[in-house]
Chain A
Amino acid sequence: MKNRMNRFCITIVIFWSCIVAIDPALSQDEKKSIDINTTWLKLQTVPNITWTSFPHQTNFAFEWEIAPVIYSFGMAKRNQQLHFFKVTQTERFSGSIEFNTTLQLFMSKAGRSHWGFSGQLLAHLPLIEYGENLGMNLGVARYSNSIITSNYIIAGFSTLFGFFHYNIKYSPSASIWMHSIEFRFF
């Protein structure tokens, strides 16, 4: 039953991701009539892929992320510095501070539930090629799932234009270390 449920979830997510991903493949002239807000919203439904090690288990999860506010400080002059929701990878990884919230769907239960939530304040600092080749992530977060709800310090790096992330999260109050590998699609 558990396996069947998991397979069902995965099939739905993959199927949906494929439908949504067809949009960007169109050339611009074919897209003229498509509303950009609809396209952006649909793309946000494509989840990131994360793999998180908790103290007693390692869980694979789909993660939906939204960044209501981003302050970008590494861009050329004349650029807008504050962004709400919509942001390019350059604006994020050339140097920024973002507040984001995530919803995680774990494929194996994390404690009693499949769900997890987080709120994060993250700084992205560029190291190589304005963060496209290598960037550093530093921040604080509050993670909540049925295993534990706690505050964490985050440190890690991103590469491949921000698609790949490795982060270490530490909760000083609970003395818990978590590691996560994330494939993030924006």
Chain B
Amino acid sequence: MKTLSFNKYTKKNFLLFLIIHLSLYITGCNPLLSRFLEKAFEETGEIEKVENKIKKPIFEDVELSILWIGHSSFLIQIGDKVFLTDPIFTNSIGMILKRKVEAGLCPSAIDRLDYVLISHPHFDHLSYGSLKNIPKAAKILLPKGGLRYMPNLGFSDYKEILPWTSLNIGGVKITAVPVKHFNGRYGFDNGWLKYDTYTGYVIEYQNKKIFFAGDTGYDAEKFKELGEKFRIDIALIPIAPIEPRDFMKRVHTDPQEALQIFYDTQATIMIPTHHRTFIQGLDSTLTYAEDKLRKLSAENGVEDRVLILKIGEQRIINLEKYKDIITGR
């Protein structure tokens, strides 16, 4: 039996290289990543339960209903069509980040689904484990280039859409709209992809228009243009992570910027997304962004048009009701 010999120098260097190289690699990629990871590892404990989960979220026929599953996952029904955005049902994402509040809906409760909208392939928006358990008859929509991150999950069809192009099927029109975020899934693939693998979507069906922003930073030009092109009824806009602001600002809106998108797009109703589910960035508490939004919307006198849903809450929305309180239309 031959024995392995480690000379002292090899052993010492191995550890040194490993530590320095990995930490520099990680921090070189993103100087704050190590702090984010530290925070993610700190956050342990029980996952908050959602009481009285809705068991039958899909109606025979409804004008418009929205159920918040958590983070950026919404089950939207317009008439006879059912849409699901960035589904995350798993208890962790990317093998590291643990969910703080459980998913507000069991995937088995979704017995019928027409479209799944994936805004981008980051772990908190494209979860293979979550997609495994939903009806496979649905069509998956992805930004152009996003298919390179989609393993064979057995769905009926997959469609990639470029910004400002639309998909028209059976009276449903879904348009990909530009947002401001970043590419790839694993970090190093950010730099060499041919297309921007992130997008927002506008769903149009039965005279309803829903804007799902996915994940975005603030860009006045993009959102004003969107407001000019569509008369948006409901805008689903991310409000977190907020801190550290200088870093997050490039790719994530805070509540103030989210409200600005709401004004720029001239939407009737805003529903905040991308919050209260995971501890994100260096935000101090789970409700950090939500609290800020509540305060800001009250200060701006739009609290009746900013619907802050609870995880697992479903609303049937009558847009007629809002017509009286909207001015400037």
Q: Which residues of A contact B (CB under 8 A)?
A: 3, 6, 10, 13-14, 17-18, 21-31, 34, 36-37, 39-40, 43, 46, 49, 51, 53, 55-60, 74-79, 86, 88-91, 94-95, 107-108, 126, 129-130, 132-133, 160-161, 183, 185-186
Contacts and interface: CB of A to CB of B under 8 A. Distances in A.
Contacts of A76: 140, 147, 150-153, 155, 158
B307 to A, nearest CB: 29
B4 A57 contact: yes
A30 B149 CA distance: 23
Contact of B152 (A28, A55, A60, A75): A75
Given A22-B28, A29-B219, 18 more contacts: A17-B24, A18-B28, A23-B191, A25-B29, A25-B30, A26-B182, A28-B182, A28-B196, A36-B192, A76-B147, A88-B189, A94-B151, A107-B13, A108-B9, A126-B151, A132-B95, A133-B95, A161-B95
A25 B188 CA distance: 9
A56 to B, nearest CB: 6
Interface stretch (B14-22, B48-56, B282-290): B14-22
Contact of B191 (A14, A24, A126): A24
Contacts of B20: 14
A90 B30 contact: no
B205 interface: no
B163 interface: no
B5 interface: yes
B192 A86 contact: yes
Contact of A10 (B17, B28, B250): B17
Given A6-B13, A24-B187, A79 B28 contact: no
B190 interface: yes
A43 B10 contact: no
B21 A49 contact: yes
Contacts of B22: 49, 183
A171 to B, nearest CB: 13
A43 B191 contact: yes
Given A14-B24, A36-B193, A24 B188 contact: yes
Contacts, number: 160
B229 interface: no
**In the A-B complex, the 9 residue pairs with the closest CB atoms:** A40-B192, A21-B28, A39-B191, A94-B151, A24-B190, A130-B151, A27-B250, A18-B28, A76-B150
Contacts of A13: 21
B129 interface: yes
B184 interface: yes
A89 B189 contact: yes
Nearest to A185: B188
Contacts of B4: 53, 56-58
B39 interface: no
Contacts of A23: 190-191
Nearest to A76: B150
B162 to A, nearest CB: 15
A166 B81 CA distance: 47
Interface string B173-196: 000000011111111111111101
Given A107-B10, A108-B7, A77 B191 contact: no
Contacts of B180: 27-29
Q: Report which residue of B14, B155, B180, B191 has the largest number of chain A beta carbons within 10 angstroms of its beta carbon.
A: B191
B151 A51 contact: no
A170 B153 CA distance: 35
Interface string B209-224: 0000000010100000
A61 B194 CA distance: 32
Contact of B10 (A56, A58, A91): A58
B152 A77 contact: yes
A51 B196 contact: no
Contact of B6 (A6, A25, A58, A89): A58
B29 to A, nearest CB: 5
Contacts of A90: 148-151, 185
24 contacts: A6-B13, A13-B21, A14-B20, A21-B29, A22-B28, A25-B190, A27-B251, A28-B182, A28-B190, A40-B191, A43-B191, A49-B21, A55-B2, A59-B10, A60-B13, A75-B151, A76-B140, A76-B158, A78-B147, A78-B158, A79-B147, A79-B150, A107-B10, A160-B95
Contacts of A95: 151
